[in-house]
Amino acid sequence: MSKFKIILTNPAVCAMLNYQSRSIWKTKCVTRIFEIDYTGTNAIVVRYPHTQEYTYTVDNVQYTGQYTVYSYYLIGKNITVNSFKYKPYVQHVNTYGISSSSFDYNAISATGKQQAQNNIVFDYNWLIDTSDYVELNINRSDAEILATWVPCDTMQSVPETFNTSARNCIFGIPVRLFSTNTYAITPVIFYALHQTYKSAYVLRDYTSDSTYDEYRFSASPLEQIPSIASDLRYLADTNAISGALMDNFLFERNGNVKYDLSLSPEQNYITEWDLIQKSAQTYFDKGKPFDIFGSIISTSSTSGVFWNPTHYNQTYNSSIRNAYTPPAQFGTMDSLGAGFPSFSFGSPYIPYENVLFLDIPVSDLIDESNNYVQTGKLPSDAIYVETDDDGVPKQWKNTDPDPEGEDGSQNISVDDMELPSPTRGALTAGACRYYLMTKEAMETFLHWFWYENHGLEDVFDNFWTNMYGNLKETILSYQYFPCTTSALGTISSTQENILLGRLVSTQTASRLNGLPSTILLGSINIKNAYKHFNTFVDWEGYTNFQIYLPFAGIVKLPTKSVQNATLKVYYCVDVGTGQMNYIIKSYPNGGENGFVVLETTTPIGETIPISLMDDMENKTKLAQTAVQVVGSTIGLAASVATGNIAGAAIATGGLVSSAANASNPTNANVMIRTAEHSGQRMISGVGQIANEAMQYQSDTPSAVGQITGLMGKWSPLKCYLIIDYPTVDNKSNGYNRHVGYLNYKPYKLSSLTGFTTCVKPQIDFTNTAPLLKEIEELYQLMESGIIL
Amino acid sequence: MIITLYQNKSDITEVSKSLTTIHTYNNGTLRDGTSIVDPTIFVEAENIPEDLVNYMYIPKFNRYYFVYTIDNVRKNLWSITGHVDVLHSFRTDILASTQLIARQEKKRNNYLVDKSLPITAKRNFKCIEFGDQFIENSYYILTTMGGVAE
């Protein structure tokens, strides 16, 4: 009889901690341990993808697409599963109390909700049960429940006022069957599986299913797994879906692809918060919290299998295959099968982030896995994690953190660089006035300005005293800002007469009378989802981060400052100059303190000429800006002594001279036009040089700006994080066996196995005394590589 | 001199060889002019399975040897030339020693920059949208001089 283990973990916590430490692994990550005793030989776990078509409707807007989930199959020669034991590691603490007698074990009613509404919140604090394993022998139906309930293990907190707001409510993966192949499930679920560490699950009694038409999920019948004979298949059957390692994930809205999440598995994140929040909030606004699962926890003595200790001793004595049949006590409720969820990605040490198979190989290659069953030859991609006598993966022991920080942990101490809220500036100085005007109001004003008689008394006064001067000179600018009004400043509550120098016009408008606040444009978490290797390749020189900022272009970010951090993009607008300032703060490890990694200013205000002088000034500014940008970039390029960069600089020489000539007053009239029309192309070319130069520069943030806010309107208006990382192929080519991984730590050689090279070996010979010639040969061998 | 012939299927750089004993002879003699490091041994035997033997142990020297050549000198007399296997011969002291390990097959210091690691030119890209979108505003800003009079 053989035995292997399946360890389910909190993916977010584990990913954050990188599985580096046994102690952390045991106390923070593990949520469930399953032990499977089986007889048979050449057992292997195969991960197999199932692709599904689906439609999804929010507020009568239909989304269609497909996604792929993966099932794990245990295959082997003459495999029989003898027992399936469950060992909980997490102590469930009921923080909020059980207010309803209809539910037990951490189920509570939401504040302010009536029983009929049955908002059920499961709350788990991440406390570890220090007692020994509680073993559970389960029947096959219960095995299914175990699988489908796994996502709920990751609940951590309950929204404080979730009866009025969705907040962080996330919905668990178990689904409610409404009709054949129609499930209540939303993309929220998938997002939840990646964001679980700060989420809660809101579940609802399934008896009110008739009210949930808007949230239905239609899945096509699953494809049949083609290559594994049914008599060899365990853990999950053809109808079982387990987990949601998403792939091939497409959102379509009314036929148009809106979100393409067809990325490699480790990259799959649903970033469309609007959709998520909207679906949740809509539901909560209706007072009918989203419902995806039935009353799995009830007063029934046969339910609550997962939590009720009296059910921990059920006997399992047959194969758990075909375990997708819903347990009787849940009526029409369906589940996702008997497989084991995987919502994550591989790492150098473990097969999949939150589903760890120990003491059994895991492969994605069905054909090679079948061959393994017959011949014993492991698949080329097989990952085999052995445990020691303590049940701890040996590989993890090898990667225990050391004080030198080679485990990838960072010594970070950040005092928050707080963004101020200034109260004094051009807007409040009193010398100028900034009026907020609609297009119609401006037309009225201009008509008054150019054509209406401003009053004979004023005219005569001005003729004799010039007290009003040239009114045109009192208009400093007329600008358009393609951003929310609140970004421009605080607005007076009343309409005021527009002042033109000393002249109080009869035209009125609201006025900006206070400085704007810094506005958070967006944030993105660059945590472990973007660490692909857990090695140095995730860092400087190998993995690069850039960010696209509306109106500013693409800017390189310092990898060392943004990896493993949350980025927040702030902006503020200075109406007086028409400039916008971007501030990007990095919050390492998702902490509360952040530091500025980039600050760049770019034009956003579009100046609209209302006099000839305005137009001339605008064009001159345009040319001067072009010259400055070109000049600075050429300086940058020139500092990089590479042929490509130099060539690129030469190639733009014409543009440079054109821009320079444009700044010459004698050529201004002609060259201003040249600069205006070629400005965008110039910036594009210059940007290319700058970007290329940056790749060879030290890791310093830099920006490539637009000339005017006018042009930025035609560029994307949201932020984009651009990540590129290399492809490392060190597993299939035997790199570790023939070259070895870098280590540079002292070891007693008897503790090592495999290829090893030593640095300046030293040996005390206590047995046979070698000759000098032998010692020299021995040391040479140890330096070049020996096999232990 | 006793000499034991083996078949060695382990890599020559393996410290602890996996050996299969072929035969032990008690009549070995060290050829004049050879050394303990590269000895040539004469063995009287009717036959030596040349296709199997590639390793030997000489207890008198307390050393293991790779067999270079096996020559039939004349009938029932064989010449076996070897070179000392310092790894297997001194494996006890080797394994008991503590060394600074430069490279290792299984133990890895992930965050040391390994410039030998094969990194292909193929790059993987991701472009992730986030944040709010800049919106079109229905207002224009008129800036005028004249901030004194109200």
A482 touches chain B (CB under 8 A): yes
Give the pLDDT of residue A119: 25
Euclidean distance between CA atoms B95 and A750, whole angstroms: 5
- pLDDT at A515 exceeding the cut of 70: yes
Q: Give mean pLDDT, residues A112-135.
A: 26
- pLDDT at A137 exceeding the cut of 70: no
A714 touches chain B (CB under 8 A): no
Give the pLDDT of residue A17: 34
**Highest-confidence segment of A139-143, A215-219, A612-616, A760-764:** A760-764
Give the pLDDT of residue B25: 92
pTM of the model: 0.49
Classify A324 as helix, strand or coil.
Answer: coil
Share the mean pLDDT of chain B: 88
- Model confidence over A637-664: pLDDT tens digits? 333 333 333 333 333 333 333 333 333 3
Euclidean distance between CA atoms A391 and A207, whole angstroms: 43
- Model confidence over A608-626: pLDDT tens digits? 876 655 555 555 555 455 4
Identify residue B41 by its one-letter amino acid code: I
**Chain B residue whose CA is closest to A575:** B141
A670 touches chain B (CB under 8 A): no
- pLDDT at A431 exceeding the cut of 50: yes
The CA radius of gyration of chain B, in Å to the nearest whole number, is 36
- Model confidence over B85-101: pLDDT tens digits? 999 999 999 999 999 99
> What tokens does A228 get?
């594994």
- Model confidence over A732-783: pLDDT tens digits? 567 888 888 888 888 889 888 889 999 999 999 887 889 999 999 999 999 9
Euclidean distance between CA atoms A87 and A285, whole angstroms: 40
- Model confidence over B118-142: pLDDT tens digits? 887 777 788 888 888 887 777 888 8
CB atoms A536 and B113 under 8 Å: yes
- Which positions in chain B touch A783 (Cβ < 8 Å)? 102
- pLDDT at A184 exceeding the cut of 60: no
CB atoms A478 and B62 under 8 Å: no
Q: Give mean pLDDT, residues A499-520.
A: 84
CB atoms B130 and A770 under 8 Å: no
Considering only A294-308, A480-494, A686-700, which range has the smallest mean pLDDT? A294-308
For residue B99, what are the β-bridge partners?
Answer: A747
Q: What is the ipTM of this complex?
A: 0.91
CB atoms A445 and B142 under 8 Å: yes
> What tokens does B129 get?
């949208």
Give the pLDDT of residue A596: 92
Q: Give CA A218 to chain center in angstroms.
A: 26
CB pairs under 8 A between A and B: 360
Give the pLDDT of residue B85: 96
Q: Which ranges in chain B belong to alpha helices (H)?
A: 86-89, 91-96
The 3-class SS string of chain B reads CCEEEEEECCCCCECCCCEEEEEEECCCEECCCCCCCCCEEEEECCCCCCCCCCEEEECCCCEEEEEEEEEEEECCEEEEEEEECHHHHCHHHHHHCEEEEEEECCCCCCCCCCCCCCEEEEEEEEEEEECCCCCCCCEEEEEEECCCCC
CA distances from A420 to A163, A570, A583 (A): 34, 12, 12
Q: Give mean pLDDT, residues A149-172.
A: 26
Identify residue A131 by its one-letter amino acid code: S
What percent of chain A is predicted at pLDDT more than 70? 37
- pLDDT at A417 exceeding the cut of 50: yes
> Measuring CA to CA, which residue among A342, A257, A228 is closest to residue A351?
A342
Contact (CB, 8 A) for A108 and A100: yes
CB atoms A605 and B141 under 8 Å: yes
| Residue A415 backbone dihedrals phi, psi, to 5 degrees | -85, 135
> What tokens does A86 get?
């469950």
Between A737 and A348, residue with greater pLDDT? A737
**Chain B residue whose CA is closest to A435:** B142
Give the pLDDT of residue B146: 72
Considering only A555-559, A705-709, B57-61, which range has the smallest mean pLDDT? A705-709
